[in-house]
């Protein structure tokens, strides 16, 4: 039976609500543990008229201070971090196969006095892993070479070795986790028109093409991002590798934002998360759409089963 751990996220955001709504109907043949403040979750479920399945295993980590929905608070950041720490403990002990993380607030965690860059960076450091961020919506899959860099920094910071790493890790994930025997991967160019023979930049010739040659079979490009995304959406590629954040996120939102999932490649377990944030403006009102969280749970279970 696949063992899945869900971390509640920031208790002042929409994480608790979308988590609760993602559990019904409860996936079969899965042992699901929820890490968070049990009393707060049950109180929220009663208020929102959400039925909690009886098979859920609760790992109660009570709040140490009162938390008000919809506000950035150190107590909420401290709690979100504690939930994640407990999830890591269980993963290290071999008590779980997959992790789904509800949204946290970077500001709240930092205000709590904790150094924080993000879930992906935290997990990579804790498990000494070199990770890649992949976004999935249906058959559309996009990995990122860079995540949160300023556009002006890209030409100087883009490295052939990093492109090779992301291409290889994406190919490995497609074979092992998505069970695609001969994956087809397209690499996006950095510059418009693929650099137009060097008129708009030399990164394609100097970095991206050599990376494609180094990885070899099943990888093509670099192609202009607009043409590549169109081809991928039509099914020509099993995944695309994008050079920077918005190359992947803009088409993802257009293709199927509601069911989109963030997957962390390179960890010794499956980790997914919804693609939205804490949405403090609607927290606790029963307005949050649980589709992305539900998709994250479903995909985590599927990938963990296929990995086994």
Same domain, 252 and 174: yes
CATH number at residue 186: 3.40.718.10
d(CA 14, CA 11): 8
Count of the separate structural domains present in the chain: 2
Whether residue 143 has pLDDT greater than 90: yes
Determine which helix (DSSP H) or strand (DSSP E) holds 291, and give its type and residue range. helix 291-307
Looking at residue 113, its pLDDT comes to 96
Same domain, 105 and 118: yes
d(CA 235, CA 146): 24
Instruction: For residue 195, name the pLDDT band (cuts at 50, 70, 90).
Output: low
Structure tokens at 35: 């890490």
Same domain, 3 and 96: yes
Is residue 137 within 8 Å of 263, Cβ to Cβ? Answer: no
Of 140-144, 197-201, 279-283, where does mean pLDDT reach its minimum? 197-201
Is residue 265 within 8 Å of 274, Cβ to Cβ? Answer: no
The candidate with the shortest Cα–Cα distance to 202, out of 144, 153, 155, is: 155
Of 28-32, 80-84, 230-234, 248-252, where does mean pLDDT reach its minimum? 28-32
Whether residue 130 has pLDDT greater than 80: yes
The conformation of residue 204, written as its DSSP 8-state character, comes to I
| pLDDT over 90 percentage in the chain | 83
Same domain, 210 and 302: no
Instruction: For residue 28, name the pLDDT band (cuts at 50, 70, 90).
Output: confident
- Confirm whether 251 is domain-assigned: yes
Looking at residue 202, its pLDDT comes to 83
Same domain, 163 and 39: no
Same domain, 40 and 108: yes
Query: How far is C-alpha 57 from the chain's CA centre?
Result: 24
- Confirm whether 262 is domain-assigned: no
Whether residue 196 has pLDDT greater than 70: no
| Residues 41-79: tens digit of each pLDDT | 999 999 999 999 989 999 999 998 999 999 999 999 999
Same domain, 193 and 236: yes
d(CA 84, CA 63): 14
Please state, rounded to an integer, the average pLDDT across all residues of the chain. Answer: 94
Is residue 167 within 8 Å of 219, Cβ to Cβ? Answer: yes
Does the CA dihedral 271-24-179-244 come out positive or negative?
negative
Q: What is the mean pLDDT of residues 258-287?
A: 95
| Residues 200-253: tens digit of each pLDDT | 778 989 999 999 999 998 999 999 999 999 999 999 999 999 999 999 999 999
Whether residue 186 has pLDDT greater than 70: yes
Same domain, 210 and 93: no
Looking at residue 149, its pLDDT comes to 86
Q: What is the mean pLDDT of residues 149-172?
A: 94
Same domain, 238 and 284: no
3-class SS shares of the chain: helix, strand, coil, % to 5: 45, 20, 35
Q: What is the mean pLDDT of residues 140-151?
A: 92
d(CA 35, CA 47): 20
Neighbours of 174 (CB within 10 A): 23
Query: By residue range, what is the domain housing residue 39?
Result: 1-129+267-308
């Amino acid at each position: 039976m696949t063992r899945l751990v869900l971390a509640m996220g920031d208790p002042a955001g929409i994480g608790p609500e979308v988590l609760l709504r993602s559990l019904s109907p409860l996936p079969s043949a899965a042992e699901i543990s929820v890490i968070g403040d049990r009393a707060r979750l049950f109180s929220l479920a009663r208020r929102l008229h959400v039925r909690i399945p009886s098979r859920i295993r609760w790992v109660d980590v009570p709040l140490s201070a009162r938390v008000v929905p919809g506000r950035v608070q150190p107590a909420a950041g401290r709690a979100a971090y504690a939930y994640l720490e407990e999830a890591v403990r269980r993963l290290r002990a071999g008590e779980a196969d997959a992790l789904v993380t509800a949204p946290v607030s970077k500001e709240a965690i930092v205000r709590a006095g904790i150094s924080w860059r993000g879930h992906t960076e935290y997990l990579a450091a804790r498990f000494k892993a070199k990770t890649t961020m992949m976004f999935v919506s249906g058959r559309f899959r996009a990995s990122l070479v860079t995540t949160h860099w300023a556009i002006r920094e890209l030409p100087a910071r883009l490295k052939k070795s990093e492109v090779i790493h992301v291409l290889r890790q994406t190919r490995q994930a497609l074979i092992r986790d998505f069970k695609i025997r001969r994956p087809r991967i397209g690499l996006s160019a950095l510059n418009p028109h693929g650099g137009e023979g060097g008129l708009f930049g030399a990164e394609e010739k100097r970095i991206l093409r050599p990376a494609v040659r180094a990885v070899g079979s099943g990888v093509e490009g670099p192609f202009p991002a607009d043409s590549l995304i169109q081809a991928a959406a039509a099914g020509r590629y099993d995944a695309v590798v994008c050079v920077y954040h918005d190359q992947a996120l803009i088409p993802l939102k257009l293709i199927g934002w509601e069911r989109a999932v963030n997957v962390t490649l390179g960890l010794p377990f499956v980790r997914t998360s919804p693609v939205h944030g804490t949405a403090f403006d609607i927290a606790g009102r029963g307005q949050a759409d649980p589709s992305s969280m539900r998709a994250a749970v479903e995909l985590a279970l599927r990938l963990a089963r296929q990995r086994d």
